[in-house]
Structure 1
Amino acid sequence: MTTSNLPITTISHLIPQKAPFVMVDTLVDFSETKIVSSLKILDTNIFVENGIFLEPGLVENMAQTVALHTGYDYFLKGEQAPTGYIGSIKKVTVNKLPKLNETITTEAQILHEFMGVTMVTVKAFNSNNEEIASGEMKTVIAS
C-alpha cells in the first residue's frame, strides 16, 4: 500500500522525537515493507560541526526513518503512534559525511515485524544518490 499524498513535510506528529533532536523532515515514500525519508542538513542541527553532518546524526537519521514508518503506519490506522527504542544496531558503515545544506535521503527495508519488534536494513544517500551510510537495526515498541 503506497499512499498518494506524499511527500509529507509536516511529520512532527508521526515521530516521538522533538526539536532539536529531529533528524528527518520529509516522508518521501511509504509501503508496508519500505519507507523513504529525507533531511536537509541545516546549520541549526545539533549534529553539524564545521559544516559537516556527523556520524551520530546519520545513525539517528536512520533510526528516526524507522520510527517514521511505524508512526505513519499507526496514523493511517487512526491510532496514536507508540514510543519505541533502538534494540540493536549492527553492520553500520559510514562511507561519506554529508555537508551543510545538502539533502540526504534514507531508505529502510522492513525485513521482519513481529510483536512490536522490527528488523530493518537502512541506507542513506547524498544529493548525488551515492550511498553514504548503511546498517541493520532492530527497533522495539515500548509496551
Structure 2
Amino acid sequence: MILLKKPITNIENLIPQKSPFVMVDSLIGFSSTHVVSTFKILESNIFFENQTLSEAGLIENMAQTVALHTGYDYFTKGLPAPTGYIGAIKEVQISVLPQLDEIINTEAHILQEFMGITLVEITVSNAKKEKVASSVMKTVITS
C-alpha cells in the first residue's frame, strides 16, 4: 500500500454519497488492492447516538471506504466516481463503538474484483491502533 504524501480531504467527487450521509473524511493510503480512510466522529453525524457512532454508521463507514477506493481509482483515470451498493456483508465483528471526537482509520483489502463486483476485507481501528470493527463485504458498481 502507498501512503499518500498528503491526505486527500476533498473527497466529495470521489464517492457518490453526499452530506449528511458522508462517513469518510480523508483518503490517506491507496494501491490497486488497498485503501485507508479516516473519519472523525462528530455529534452532528446522523449515526451518532448515545455519545458513539452506531453500528450502522460503522458499517456505512466501511462501505464508503470501499467506494472511496473505487472513486479514487476512477479519478486517476479521468472518470467520474461510479455509483454502487453493498451486495453482501458477512463476518461483521464490532468490538467497541467509537466515541465522540475519536478518529477512526478504516483499511480495506481487495480480495477479489470481477466485472464491477468487489470482495473486500475491512478493518476499522482507533488512534491507539486497537481493532474497533471488521467485516467481509461485497460491493457492486451499478454505473
TM-score, normalised to structure 2's length?
0.96
- 1:117 maps to 117
Whichever structure has more strand as a proportion of its residues is 2
Measured against aligned partners, the alpha-carbon deviations of 1:30-57 in whole angstroms (never above 9, x if no partner) come to 0000000000001110111121111000
Structure 1 residue 4 displacement after superposition: 4.4
Distance of 1:4 and 1:40 partners within structure 2: 19
**Structure 1: any 5+ residue segments left out of the alignment?**
none
The percentage of counterpart residues that share the same residue type is 61
Structure 1 residue 3 displacement after superposition: 7.0
| Aligned residue pairs, count | 143
Measured against aligned partners, the alpha-carbon deviations of 1:98-130 in whole angstroms (never above 9, x if no partner) come to 100000000000001111000000000012110
Structure 1 range deviating more: 70-79 or 44-53:
44-53
Q: Does the residue aligned with 2:135 lie in a helix, a strand or coil?
A: strand
Q: Does the residue aligned with 2:58 lie in a helix, a strand or coil?
A: helix
- 2:26 maps to 26
Give the 3 Å change call, closer, same or farther, for CA 52–16 of structure 1 in structure 2: same
Structure 1 residue 74 displacement after superposition: 0.1
**Structure 2: any 5+ residue segments left out of the alignment?**
none
- 1:51 maps to 51
- Asked if 2 retains the 8 angstrom alpha-carbon contact of 1:6 and 1:29, the reply is no
Which letter does structure 2 place at the counterpart of 1:6? K
TM-score, normalised to structure 1's length?
0.96
Distance of 2:3 and 2:130 partners within structure 1: 26
Structure 1 range deviating more: 27-36 or 45-54:
45-54
Structure 1 residue 11 displacement after superposition: 0.3
RMSD value over aligned CA atoms?
1.2
- 2:97 maps to 97
